[in-house]
Amino acid sequence: MSETSAWVIFIAAIFTNNILLTNFLGMCSFIVCSGQIRTSLGLGTAVTFVMVTTTILNYVIYHLVLAPYGLVHLQFIVFIAVIAAFVQLVEMFVERFSPRLYFALGIFLPLITVNCAILGASLFMIIREYSFMQSIGFGLGAGIGWALAIILLAGLRQKMRYSNVPEPFRGVPIAMLITGVMAMTFMGFAGMVSIQ
């Protein structure tokens, strides 16, 4: 695992090991917020940004604080606290210094704390024993992959409004089925690169 270059992990995290389509993380906001392309673009950007930074932060905290002092079992509570605190900080910072960016991203930031993809990326990083550079590649790739998936689904759902879907399957169920087809399509990338 340790020899894989960060670049390969980056590509793999977008296509072959898409965090949403193969690991099912971040489904809640994926289903609920994929109504419009604009909304999902904003959310995707915010998720990518927070994912990269919290992956780096959690890497540093895990390897410099938790592991040396034998506190590994506390990783869940520490990671989620880091994510929540960081999101809060970014929100205050952006609101103060860039009102335009705040309006673009601002309302999505609180949603991100409860997005399991963010916590999941940190946990995968620990389980797969990535190095520092690999973690950056993974965080960035996973974020972009997630954004790509939600934007694609938003585009498809906008088209779906004109289709005649059976009554009980309107809304969430049909979005799930579309996602299934998308996941199948992404399996076509499988031969390109592979990480476990």
Partner 1 sequence: MAENKQSACVTCQPAGLCGGKGLLTLKDGAWRNNPLAIQVLGICSALAVTSRLENSLVMGAALIFVCVGSNLIVSLLRKRTPHRIRMIAEVAIIATFVIFFDQFLKAFYWDMSKQLGPYVGLIITNCIVMGRAEAFALQNPPIVSMVDGLANGIGYAVVLAIIGFFRELLGTGEIFGHQVLSSQWYTPNQLMILAPGAFFALGIVIGIFNALKGPEPQEKK
Q: How far is the CB of 95 from partner 1 (least distance, A)?
A: 13
Contact residues toward partner 1 (CB under 8 A) are 21-29, 31-33, 35-36, 39, 43, 73-77, 80-81, 84, 107-108, 110-111, 114-116, 119-120, 123-124, 127, 166-177, 179-181, 183-184, 187
Q: Which is nearer to partner 1, 18 or 53 (CB)?
A: 18
Q: Which is nearer to partner 1, 133 or 181 (CB)?
A: 181
53 near 135, Cβ under 8 Å? no
Rounded to whole angstroms, how far apart are CA atoms 118 and 123? 9
Within 8 A by CB and 6+ apart from 143, the residues are 44, 47, 48, 49, 50, 51, 52, 121
Q: Which is nearer to partner 1, 77 or 97 (CB)?
A: 77
Give the amino acid at 190.
A
Q: Which is nearer to partner 1, 7 or 120 (CB)?
A: 120
Rounded to whole angstroms, how far apart are CA atoms 190 and 123? 23
Q: How far is the CB of 156 from partner 1 (least distance, A)?
A: 13
